Amino acid sequence: METLGHLAHGFSVAFSPMNLLWCLIGTTLGTAIGVLPGLGPALTIALLLPITYQVAPEASFILFAGIYYGAMYGGSTTSILLNTPGESATIVTALEGNKMARSGRGGAALATSAIGSFVAGTIGTLGVAFLAPVVVKFALAFGPAEYFSLMVLAFITVSAVLGSSSVRGLTSLFIGFVIGMIGVDLQTGQPRFTFGTNELLDGVDVIIAAVGLFAVGETLYMASRRYAGKDEIVPLKGSLYMTAAEWGRSWKAWLRGAAIGFPIGAMPAGGAEIPTFLSYAIEKKLSKHKEEFGTVGAIEGVAGPEAANNASAAGVLVPMLTLGLPTSATAAIMLSAFQSYGINPGPLLLTTQADLVWGLIASLFIANVILVILNLPLIGLWVRLLKIPAPQLYAGILVFATVGTYGISQSPIDLVILYLLGAAGFLMRRFDFPTAPVIIGMILGPLAETQFRRAMTISNGDWSVFYTHKLSLVLLILAFIGLAGPHIWAFIEHRRRRGPEHVPGDA
């Protein structure tokens, strides 16, 4: 059991007093931003990226991972008490959780989601520890062509398969590609997409893109929608302790949720929507209390999806650490933190940066323990955060957005780019374009281009490498199925539904 030895070493890194302190800061901050509507882990980690110039990699990744896990815990509190899902992954939690809060069982809903998050987060982190070395053995056989095809598959799944429309998802992704290409081409030194300006030679910083899309765009959108209905905070009633019956109904849902969430998160597709919706559907089907779903709120409908959400968040770390493949906006920003240290995540990361990787995984176990303590006995504190009025909240977010952006190079041009991206973010929000693919395209696009050019250089300009290599071909076929499959399926369904009278020769 090699992994256990590595884990023991990881705990020795994570248990240093300074790293414990970083973990505590990260989890506290993560819970806070998870609770506050309008702030998410991607934005927060982007704003904190300058810390990579100040502290060791272990410290900043322990901080970032704490924020990442903490935001999951905090987000469920907001969903349950405010019925405003902060992110797509907690939509399902709001369905039953808010119903439970309205019928006076908010305490039990918060308890099952926090303990479920702990159980699933711990299972998911164990999954990362044991699966990562296996994936590494597999990934060592990858050449540039396979990497490129794998990235194509990830591009398709994060933008076209998840979300409401593949055209709009891919549009976001391509906008990300363009932003990612701005600046000096690293292989030939030629400036690209700079419109002749010197300011754009260094490219657009990921901080500016994330802050523009997530903070400025979000603020403009919320300002434009003041006529839309307001959500009310449901006051927290009932004890935080679950009854024996509630425990009995929760624990199986937690385990099922974790079993669904982790594998889906660990695939190079990522995304927490599918596992949470899947878990919700399964719990609804298996429940002995079907009448509670959608009426007074069923505890299984909170326990399962919350567990699935946290397990898939852990799963996302597997492709990120072993293949350098981020499948969520937060993971993409963490990847840019690796780049800022000059570290390239990939199959060699686990051996060359053993302290960092195993220290990070160990700190995730500690983060889970801290988070369940922060989120159960101290829940009252976080509920108070929900009472920050919207005007001051959004104005404050923009003050921090300015710090993060203007601090990069004290250039007003950066603020201009920030506001332009904010305007784009507003339009995307208003017209239902997903924003995460922009960040993923911006970070992963240049990496895909590098692998593409490497593969083409090795093959002497022969495009066939991408389909003569078996593994690469399989990945490209999977990507094609991901893109075309749903349309073909809908077409077949449509024809079957219309019946044979429209196509007489076909029957």
Interface with another protein (CB under 8 A): 48, 50-51, 53-54, 165, 167-168, 170-171, 174-175, 177-178, 181, 185, 187-188, 190-195, 216, 219-220, 222-228, 389-392, 394-396, 398-400, 402-403, 406-408, 410, 412, 415-416, 419, 422, 427, 430-432, 445, 449, 452-453, 456-457, 460-461, 497
Residue whose entry in the numeric block shows the structure tokens 């073909």: 488
* Closest separation in Å from C-beta 230 to another protein: 11
* Cβ-based nearer residue to another protein, 48 or 139: 48
Residue 184, strand partner residues: 191
* Cβ-based nearer residue to another protein, 198 or 460: 460
* Closest separation in Å from C-beta 150 to another protein: 17
Q: How far apart are CA 94 and CA 90, in angstroms?
A: 6
* Cβ-based nearer residue to another protein, 118 or 394: 394
Q: How far apart are CA 429 and CA 172, in angstroms?
A: 11
* Cβ-based nearer residue to another protein, 398 or 471: 398
* Cβ-based nearer residue to another protein, 2 or 197: 197
* Closest separation in Å from C-beta 219 to another protein: 6
CB 87 within 8 A of CB 218: no
* Cβ-based nearer residue to another protein, 247 or 419: 419
* Closest separation in Å from C-beta 215 to another protein: 11
* Alpha carbons within 13 A on the beta-carbon side of 254: 21
3-state secondary structure of 6: helix
* Cβ-based nearer residue to another protein, 65 or 421: 421
How big is the chain, counted in residues? 507
* Closest separation in Å from C-beta 406 to another protein: 5
CB 195 within 8 A of CB 203: no
* Closest separation in Å from C-beta 475 to another protein: 18
* Cβ-based nearer residue to another protein, 240 or 423: 423
3-state secondary structure of 183: strand
* Cβ-based nearer residue to another protein, 123 or 209: 209
* Closest separation in Å from C-beta 300 to another protein: 27
* Cβ-based nearer residue to another protein, 189 or 505: 189
3-state secondary structure of 381: helix
* Closest separation in Å from C-beta 39 to another protein: 14
Neighbours of 449 (CB within 10 A): 18
Query: Per the structure block, which two tokens stand in for 440?
Result: 């993923």
* Closest separation in Å from C-beta 12 to another protein: 28
DSSP state of 316: T
The DSSP code sequence of 20-76 is: HHHHHHHHHHHHHHHHSTT--HHHHHHHTGGGGGTS-HHHHHHHHHHHHHHHHHHHH
CB 95 within 8 A of CB 306: no
Neighbours of 442 (CB within 10 A): 27
* Cβ-based nearer residue to another protein, 213 or 267: 213
Secondary structure of 114-152 in HEC code, one letter for each residue? HHHHHHHHHHHHHHHHHHHHHHHHHHCCCCHHHHHHHHH
Q: How far apart are CA 171 and CA 424, in angstroms?
A: 12
Residue 183, strand partner residues: 192
* Cβ-based nearer residue to another protein, 121 or 169: 169
- Residue closest to 193 by CA, chosen among 208, 184, 182, 202: 182
Q: How far apart are CA 98 and CA 82, in angstroms?
A: 7
* Closest separation in Å from C-beta 206 to another protein: 15
SS3 content of the chain, % helix, strand, coil (to 5): 75, 0, 25
Q: How far apart are CA 295 and CA 290, in angstroms?
A: 10
* Closest separation in Å from C-beta 128 to another protein: 29
* Closest separation in Å from C-beta 271 to another protein: 21
